[in-house]
Structures are given as C-alpha cells and as structure tokens.
C-alpha cells in the first residue's frame, strides 16, 4: 500500500493525538535539557518508565480537558485556555506519578516549571499556524471563485461525482460524509471521509464548506428527508443528483447537479411493478390517449412509447400541448407510428373518424377539466367535458371493439363536494355500468394530486416564492394526497393490466400531506425562511373544497388486489335504462344551456349531492355540496 493511501486511512483525530503525544515527549526532554544547561557538570539521566508515565498522564489530561473536541482549523482563545489548563494540571499529575514511582529520582524540581511553558508553546503554536494557513488558503480559493463543497454520500455515486468535479474549476471537494462504518477515516480520490451524516453540521463548519452536494440517488424518501433536514441545519446551500429511476427513465443524466425538488421529499419509494403483464397489455397494441398533451396524459404517452406500442394516437384539444408532445415523441421514438389529432373528445364526428381510421385497441381517457374553484361556476362546461366527453369516447370504444378502456379519475369523485368531483363521479358510474353491456373491459383508476402537474399547488407555490410571497393556503389544517407523475402513470398502466372490467381501482397515495407543511418545505428549499422572508397567508376554504380527501366511498368496501399499491372498490350498480335516460336529458339541457335542468339531472344521479348558491369575490355564482352524510 502506498504512503498516500496509508495516510488516507488515518483518522484526523488519531493524527492530532499522535502529534500531541510527540510534543509531550519533546517538551519533557527539552525541559530537562534546559534545567541541566544551567549546571553542565550534572549528569542527565532518564528512568526506565519516565517517558511512558509522562505520556500516559499528560495524554489522559489532554483528553479530559476536551482539547480533542475542537478543530485546528478554528483554533482560538478557548483552545489556548484548554491547553494552558492541560499543561499545568499535567505537570502536577506527572510530578505526583513520578514521585510514587521512584521519588522523583533524576528529575529536578525546576523541570516542572519549565515543562508547562514548553509544552504550551509546542501545542499552541502549530494550531495557530494551521489556522492561519487554512484562512489564507480559503481567501485564495475565494479570490479564484472556487467553491468548497462537501459530498454527502461516499458510495459509488459520490465517488464518480468527486471525479467529475476535478474537471470543474468552480468546485473544490474537501471531503465526504457517510454513515457506513467501513468508510470511517477512509480517503476516496484523495478526499477524506470526515464523519457521519449526523455530524454534517459540525463537520461542514469545521471544514469551512460553502456548498453541500447530496450524492444518494438510491436513497428512500425518508432517508432523503433526513438528509435534507441535516443540510437545512447547516445554513448552507445544497444540491443533489437525480434519482436512479429518473436516470433510468431518461428524465435526467447521472451526476447532473440540480436543486433538491419537492418531488424528492414527497415522492414515495419506488414500487415493484409487473412489467411483464404491462407489456402484454401494451406491446404491439394500437393505443389511444385522450388529453395526451396534459401532465398525466403526456407521461402516459412517454411510458407507452417505451413499452413498445405498435402505434400511439394522441387526442388533444390544446394546439400547443399537442405540438409539444408530438415534437418530443417523434424526437425520442422515431420508430413509433404516431398520430396527433387536434380535437375535443366530446366531438362525436371527430372522434368517430379517429376511431374508424386508427382502430385503437387500448384507450386511456385522461382528458378532463380539473380546476375545482373555476368549475364551481361552470357546471355546463364541466359536465360536457368530464361526463359527455367520457360518454362519447366510451360509446365509440364499445362500438369499435376496443379491448380495454381506462378512465383516469380522481379522489374528488368520492363523496363529491364540488362540481368537478360530481362530474367525475358520474363519468365513473357510466363506465362501470357500461362494462356489463360491452365486450370492452371498462375500468377506472382513481388517485389524488400529482406533484407539479399543470394547475396544481406546487407550481403555484413555486411562482409565489419567486415573486417574493406571500404563499396562499386556504386553511391551516387542509391536507392532500400526493404522488409523482411517473409513479401515478406506472400504477395506471399496472391497473390496466390486472383489470377484468367494471372495477374502480384506487392507488395507494401513502400518507396525506398538510399543505401548510408543503409550503414551508418549498420555502426552505428555495433558501428562504417560512413566515419571515416568505409569509404564508390563509385565505379560507373555497367553495367545493374539502379539508381532507377520500379515496373510497364508505359503501364501496375496498379490498386489496394482487399489487400492494392498488386497491379495488366494489361495484355499485345503477339502472342502465335510468342512467341512459338521465344522461340523454342532461345532454339536451347542455345543448340549450339549461343549467337548472342539468343540476336536476346530476342530483338524480347523485342523490347525496345538494346545491346551494354562494357569492364569490368576482360576483359569480358557485355551487357547493351540503349534507355529506348520505350515500349515493
């Protein structure tokens, strides 16, 4: 083993102790030599155990005084005081020990006066000199705009990151922290492992670190939260490298330094999927996605393309969204047969033409209006898009022999308190009951909020932070379920592979998150202090808004499925003739803009849903639900 590697395995504290013991022996020898220098005729003698006793006593006292809890880099007056105490008490202890050993044979009394002075100088001067050198070096680095960074995580990712940073003149790696006992005191690429994760604030301060780089791509969400909390405690800026699943999915490059995103803290650990069953559902199939340019729809398109679909048809009413997903898919999957259709899924003629020409085998219906407060005053628009649009696509799927139809729904359809939730619940009822009258397998997948989706709270908070605040939260106790867009889409694909028809699948959303906590964490990630630098303002619950979301109606008696993250709600039947009659009447009401009749139709379909008019700040009329105890 080379000398450099050997030195790398020596812990810094061991080196400090070795230095101090060597200085102790040297100080004792110098003190005796100075004493005998006044009387050269006297013979200098050293007893057999004299030096071992001196080293043992002084070493114990140096440790007892707490000298080794300090760091040379920040040597100051408290450290000099500890040295002064240690050498004086050490001289007394050594004198007593040598007296008991051999009655101070060959040790002049003057030695005990000279020894503390010599040892104090030998211990203090190197520490002060080291601090002066480090301060000078730090100023030199700052003048060259080189940032001192510490890597959190000394595994393979951290090692590769440290090698990459050698080629970047903006950063100077000072070391690592890691919890692995085997790495304690080790050196990686010439950089020492300085401590454990829990010691991060102390080590970062001692090493004069200016930035922290988290290199833990395989860390669980709980581990990531712990690390970020420790980084927050240092007061230093910190960055991270992408998660393994993002690298594998092609959403990021390995060792690409980025800011810690809220997804890194609110996402959940990667789930195990039955990719064989998913591929059997999608590979070599013609797949159609409505709303394919939206947050969920576009990610579904990406994953479907990766799984080897024969062709992908995207129906999107936003010209810009369709253009964007078209450009992306054609660039990333040039071999994919792709067709983009600019149309509203409720346009029967356009959808019929699309079905006849493309002959889809699997459909993911993600098109929907989803903004709860906005839709409160837009019953007709919400019903036409979320209910009648779903009915149009579902009926065409049955008529053209589509194998599988998946409705993307929401937890707001459970005990709905809003127009948006009520319309999604009606769409669920239609697909559930249509399944009994078709060869197509109709199923529904229900989940909560997805992080960073268009119109969600995360991008809103991010913009409010950029604007300097305040962040607006409707209620201090409001909470929501969250999952990442990729995870939601993967579980949607998994549900499609296990569904037999007629089911409502609900995705395991984990624990609900308080929106207040979400806001505070996002403020901290932006390097600000919640409540002071970025205030949080509570505006009150909006019409149709719940404090807590639900994933199942009490009467649905949900049960487990073969996948741990997917649950099944029991089917609740509605008379098919009554359902068709009410939807036909609602269609006529929507055509002539008769919202009163439309309300009556929704109330007939959802008996527990009640309407009441409430004034809004912009003088429009909104609708909210009362009497939530009743079941549908």
Query: Which residue has tokens 């709980």?
Result: 222
What is the number of residues in the chain? 632
Tokens representing residue 121 in the block: 């100088």
Cβ atoms of residues 623 and 545 within 8 Å = no
Contacts of 278 (CB under 8 A, 6+ apart): 307, 493, 494, 496, 497
The C-alpha atoms of residue 435 and residue 432 are separated, in whole angstroms, by 6
Pairing of strands 191-195, 187-188: antiparallel
Tokens representing residue 495 in the block: 């549900």
Q: Can you say whether the dihedral through the CA atoms of 292, 294, 297, 300 is positive or negative?
A: positive
User: What SS3 state is found at 518?
Assistant: helix
User: What SS3 state is found at 614?
Assistant: strand
The C-alpha atoms of residue 1 and residue 7 are separated, in whole angstroms, by 10
Per DSSP, the residues of 226-267 read HHHHHHHHHT--EEE---HHHHHTTSS-TT--EEPPHHHHHS
370, 412, 424, 565: which one is catalytic? 412
Tokens representing residue 306 in the block: 């990766």
C-alpha 144 chain-centroid distance:
33
Beta strands in 416-547 (DSSP E): 441-447, 449-450, 471-473, 479-480, 482-483, 504-507, 513-514, 536-538
The C-alpha atoms of residue 437 and residue 235 are separated, in whole angstroms, by 62
Cβ atoms of residues 549 and 512 within 8 Å = yes
The C-alpha atoms of residue 169 and residue 165 are separated, in whole angstroms, by 8
C-beta pairs of 218-223 under 8 Å, 24+ apart in sequence: 218/157, 218/243, 218/244, 219/153, 220/269, 221/264, 221/265, 221/266, 221/267, 221/268, 221/269
565: annotated active-site residue: no
The C-alpha atoms of residue 340 and residue 90 are separated, in whole angstroms, by 84
The C-alpha atoms of residue 527 and residue 529 are separated, in whole angstroms, by 7
How many CA atoms within 13 Å lie on the side-chain side of 548?
Answer: 6
Cβ atoms of residues 341 and 314 within 8 Å = yes
Largest CA distance in the chain: 124
Pairing of strands 441-447, 504-507: parallel
The C-alpha atoms of residue 505 and residue 591 are separated, in whole angstroms, by 32
H or E segment to which residue 33 belongs? helix 12-37
Phi, psi of 351 (to 5 degrees): -70, -40
Q: Which of 181, 175, 187 has its CA nearest to residue 5? A: 187
Contacts of 391 (CB under 8 A, 6+ apart): 427, 430, 583
C-beta atoms surrounding 598 within 10 Å: 23
> Which residues form the catalytic set?
412
């Amino acid at each position: 083993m080379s000398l450099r590697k050997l030195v790398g395995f020596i812990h810094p504290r061991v080196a400090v102790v070795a230095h101090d013991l060597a200085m102790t022996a040297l100080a004792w020898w110098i003190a005796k030599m100075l004493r005998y220098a006044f009387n050269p005729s006297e013979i200098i003698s050293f007893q057999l155990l004299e030096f071992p006793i001196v080293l043992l006593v002084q070493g114990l006292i140096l440790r007892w005084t707490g000298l080794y809890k300090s760091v040379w880099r920040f040597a100051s007056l408290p450290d000099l005081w500890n040295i002064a105490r240690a050498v004086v008490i050490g001289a007394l202890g050594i004198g007593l020990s040598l007296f008991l050993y051999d009655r101070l044979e060959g040790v002049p009394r003057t030695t005990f006066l000279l020894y503390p002075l010599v040892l104090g100088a030998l211990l203090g001067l190197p520490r002060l000199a080291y601090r002066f050198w480090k301060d000078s070096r730090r100023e030199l680095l700052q003048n060259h705009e080189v940032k001192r960074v510490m890597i959190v995580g000394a595994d393979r990712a951290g090692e590769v990151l440290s090698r990459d940073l050698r080629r970047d003149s903006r950063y100077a790696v000072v070391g690592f922290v890691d919890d692995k006992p085997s790495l304690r005191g080790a050196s990686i690429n010439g950089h020492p492992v300085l401590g454990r994760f829990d010691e991060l604030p102390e080590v970062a301060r001692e090493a004069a670190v200016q930035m922290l780089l988290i290199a833990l791509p395989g860390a669980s969400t709980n581990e990531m939260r712990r690390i970020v909390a420790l980084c927050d405690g240092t007061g230093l800026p910190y960055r991270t490298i992408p998660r393994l699943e993002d690298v594998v999915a092609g959403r990021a490059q390995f060792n690409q330094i980025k800011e810690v995103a809220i997804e890194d803290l609110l996402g959940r650990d990667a789930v195990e999927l039955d990719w064989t069953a998913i591929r059997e559902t999608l590979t070599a199939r013609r797949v159609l996605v409505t709303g394919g340019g939206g947050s969920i729809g576009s990610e579904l398109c990406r994953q479907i393309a990766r799984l080897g679909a024969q062709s992908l048809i995207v129906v999107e009413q936003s010209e810009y969204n369709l253009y964007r997903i078209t450009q992306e898919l054609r660039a990333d999957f040039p071999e994919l047969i792709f067709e983009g259709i600019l149309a509203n899924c409720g346009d029967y003629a356009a959808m019929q033409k699309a079905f006849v020409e493309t002959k889809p085998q699997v459909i993911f219906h993600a098109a929907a209006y989803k903004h709860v407060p906005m839709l409160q005053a837009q019953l007709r628009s919400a019903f036409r898009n979320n209910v009648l649009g779903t009915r149009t696509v579902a009926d065409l799927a049955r008529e053209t022999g589509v194998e599988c139809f998946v409705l993307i729904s929401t937890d707001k359809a459970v005990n709905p308190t809003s127009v948006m939730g009520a319309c999604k619940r009606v769409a669920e009822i239609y697909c559930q009951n249509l399944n009994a009258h078709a060869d197509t397998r109709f199923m529904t997948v229900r989940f909560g909020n997805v992080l960073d989706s268009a119109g969600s709270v995360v991008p809103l908070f991010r913009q409010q932070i950029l604007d300097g605040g305040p962040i607006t939260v409707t209620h201090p106790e409001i909470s929501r379920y969250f999952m990442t867009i990729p995870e939601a889409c993967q579980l949607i694909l998994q549900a499609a592979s296990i569904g037999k028809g007629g089911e409502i699948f609900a995705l395991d959303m984990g624990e609900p998150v308080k929106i207040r906590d979400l806001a505070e964490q996002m403020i901290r990630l932006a390097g600000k202090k919640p409540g002071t630098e970025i205030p949080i303002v509570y505006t009150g619950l909006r019409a149709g808004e719940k404090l807590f979301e639900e994933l199942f109606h009490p009467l649905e008696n949900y049960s487990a499925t073969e996948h741990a993250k997917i649950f099944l709600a029991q089917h609740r039947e509605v008379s098919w003739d009554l359902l068709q009659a009410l939807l036909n009447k609602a269609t006529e009401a929507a055509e002539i803009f008769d919202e009163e009749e439309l309300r009556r139709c929704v109330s007939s379909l959802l008996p527990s849903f009640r309407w009441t008019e409430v004034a809004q700040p912009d003088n429009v009329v909104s609708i909210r639900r009362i009497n939530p105890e009743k079941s549908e």
